[in-house]
């Protein structure tokens, strides 16, 4: 544990890291970028980076609402595996949390709670950097630099913008709702990421990051950058998606066709990582099922059945074949208590560890400060390269 003096030093380094001045003029070239090739899809158990140089993976979760089983099984649990093979940076994307109306008091608490849950779920700070997005100001600076090269038509085509802006009343939607994919691209490109863990429904945002990386490379990289004193070549890496075989998309307990979501109005639709044992059992008991006989995977007419079996497979640690053999003749009345017990048993150590971490606030502050320092070191090099290539006086 860190002593108070250590925390003061860490805090001082963080505050100095937050200060920088903006330039108000920049040069912009108008050239047509080369087409970017579509990405290949990597599964987490099929990519093997060189043992001498680790590939880099970045990912994050918004601190809005409670971290639920979908966030955990679809992202955070996968991170715990990835950190053993890759250089990893995991952050709390608090800047993304303000694109829609939010509770200002809740944001601060949710940010700390999310960081604590990262650690409680098994993210190891000896292997991964954990930090808060807004503590590394380069995220915002890179977003602005990228915005100057982003066609507005690209953003208006984003599916989530169309859906969320419609909910917010069209013209009443904030500008950040339109531009947040550029911030997401900045989150990825800032750290020269090789791979980005994404669900099937998030590919469009990664495509935008890839397109922007290629566009900026074509506009400002290569010989143009070298003439300005840079090293030349590509400014950004083109990141690839890393999609886990199982658990990439956990569905709602009330609708097997909808993703489990923090923003869903009914808490019954999700299992939160900090739900009590009784609440977990009750939610699973009341979750939507069907009237078919037996249980089975991959039947398009039974989305809820496939979802619940997939959850059971992951939390029990069994193979798909083992689950199918065990559950194929079960009724829902038999399977639901089995699933509830497996989920409770899996989440119990996480809840215990979370309580331990939140009881030691100095420890969490130290982890986040050190993680931000490490991230800033990487990020500042990227910002320097891009500003040099874009013609800024630096």
| pLDDT averaged per 10 residues, the chain (length 394) | 32 40 36 43 44 86 88 90 96 93 91 96 97 98 97 86 68 82 96 88 84 97 96 96 73 94 90 97 97 95 96 94 96 97 97 96 96 98 98 94
**262, 283, 336, 366: the active-site residue:** 262
pLDDT of amino acid 46: 40
pLDDT confidence of residue 51: 52
Q: Are 114 and 63 in contact (CB under 8 A)?
A: yes
What is the spatial distance between Cα 367 and Cα 360, in angstroms, rounded to a whole number? 11
Determine which one of 55, 77, 164, 387 is catalytic.
164
What pLDDT is attached to residue 53? 80
Q: How far is CA 271 from CA 70, 335, 357, in A?
A: 8, 17, 21
Q: What is the pLDDT of residue 170?
A: 64
Is 303 in contact with 256 (CB distance < 8 Å)?
Answer: yes
Structural contact between residues 242 and 224, judged by C-beta atoms closer than 8 angstroms: no
pLDDT at 243: 77
3-state helix, strand, coil in the chain (%, to 5): 55, 10, 40
Please, which residues bridge with residue 251 across strands? 259
Least Cα distance to 208 among 236, 233, 170, 232 occurs for 236
**CA distances, 307 to each of 71, 114, 312, 339 (Å):** 14, 25, 9, 12
Please name which of 211, 213, 224 lies closest in space to residue 191, comparing C-alpha atoms. 213
Decide: 234 and 389 in contact? Cβ < 8 Å.
Answer: no
Contact 188, 206 (CB under 8 A): yes
Which ranges constitute the DSSP H helices of 126-274?
138-147, 152-156, 159-167, 175-189, 203-220, 223-227
Asked about 77 being catalytic, the answer comes back as: no
Q: Which residue in the block uniquely carries the two structure tokens 């709390």?
A: 92
pTM of this structure: 0.81
Question: Is residue 127 annotated as a catalytic residue, yes or no?
Answer: no
Rounded alpha-carbon distances, angstroms, from residue 46 to 200, 244, 303: 17, 10, 27
Structure tokens at 110: 């949710």
- For 49, residues 6+ apart whose C-beta sits below 8 A from its C-beta are 55, 85, 86, 194
Residue in 338, 274, 312, 344 with CA at minimum distance from that of residue 114: 274
- Give the CA distances from residue 167 to residues 97, 126, 258, in Å, rounded to whole numbers and listed in that order: 16, 42, 17
Residue 240 sits at φ, ψ, to 5 deg, of -115, 150
Alpha helices in 34-85 (DSSP H): 69-71, 77-82
Rounded Cα gap, residues 343 and 326, in angstroms:
17
Q: How far apart are CA 105 and CA 116, in angstroms?
A: 18
Distance CA 313, CA 311 (A): 5
What's the pLDDT at 23?
A: 36
Give the residue among 65, 83, 64 at the shortest CA–CA distance from 121: 83
What was the pLDDT predicted at 66? 83
Distance of CA 271 to the CA centre of its chain: 19
Residue 264 has φ and ψ, to the nearest 5°, of -60, 135
Q: Which of 203, 237, 259, 318 is catalytic?
A: 259
Bridge partner list, 241: 196
Structure confidence at residue 245 (pLDDT) = 63
Say what the pLDDT of residue 114 is: 95
The pLDDT, as a whole number, for residue 16 is 42
Residue 164 is a catalytic residue: yes
Q: Which residues contact 257 (CB under 8 A, 6 or more apart)?
A: 251, 303
Q: What is the helix (H) or strand (E) element at residue 337, kind and residue range?
A: helix 332-358
């Amino acid at each position: 544990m860190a002593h108070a003096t250590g925390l003061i030093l860490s805090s001082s380094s963080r505050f100095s890291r937050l200060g920088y001045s903006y330039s108000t003029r920049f040069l912009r070239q108008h050239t047509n970028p080369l087409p970017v090739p579509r990405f290949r899809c990597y599964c987490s158990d099929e990519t093997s980076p060189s043992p001498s140089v680790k590939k880099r993976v970045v990912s994050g979760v918004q601190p809005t609402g409670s971290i639920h089983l979908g966030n955990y099984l679809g992202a955070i649990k996968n991170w715990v595996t990835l950190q053993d093979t890759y250089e990893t940076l995991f952050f709390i994307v608090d800047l993304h949390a303000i694109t829609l109306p939010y509770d200002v008091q809740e944001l601060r608490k949710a940010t700390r709670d999310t960081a604590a849950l990262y650690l409680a779920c098994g993210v190891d700070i000896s292997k991964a950097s954990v930090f808060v997005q807004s503590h590394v100001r380069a995220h915002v600076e890179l977003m602005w630099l990228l915005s100057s090269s982003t066609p507005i038509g690209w953003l208006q085509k984003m599916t989530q913008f169309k859906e969320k802006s419609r909910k917010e009343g069209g013209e009443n939607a904030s500008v950040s709702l339109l531009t947040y994919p550029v911030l997401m691209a900045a989150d990825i490109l800032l750290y020269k990421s090789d791979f980005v863990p994404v669900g099937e429904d998030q590919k469009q945002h990664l495509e935008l990051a890839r397109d922007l990386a290629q566009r900026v490379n074509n506009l400002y990289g290569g010989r143009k950058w070298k003439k300005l004193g840079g090293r030349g070549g590509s400014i950004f890496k083109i990141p690839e998606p890393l999609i886990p075989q199982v658990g990439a998309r956990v569905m709602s307990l009330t609708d097997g066709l909808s993703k489990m979501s923090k923003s869903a109005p009914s808490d019954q639709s999700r299992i939160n990582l900090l739900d009590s044992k009784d609440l977990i059992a009750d939610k699973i008991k009341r979750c939507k099922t069907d009237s078919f006989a037996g249980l089975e995977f991959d039947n398009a007419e039974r989305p809820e059945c496939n979802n619940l079996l997939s959850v059971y497979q992951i939390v029990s640690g069994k193979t798909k074949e083992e689950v199918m053999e065990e559950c194929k003749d079960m009724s829902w009345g038999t399977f639901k208590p089995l699933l509830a017990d497996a989920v409770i048993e899996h989440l119990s150590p996480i809840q215990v560890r979370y309580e331990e971490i939140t009881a030691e606030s100095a420890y969490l502050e130290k982890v986040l400060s050190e993680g931000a320092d490490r991230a800033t070191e990487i990020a500042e090099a990227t910002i320097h390269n891009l500003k040099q290539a874009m013609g800024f006086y630096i």
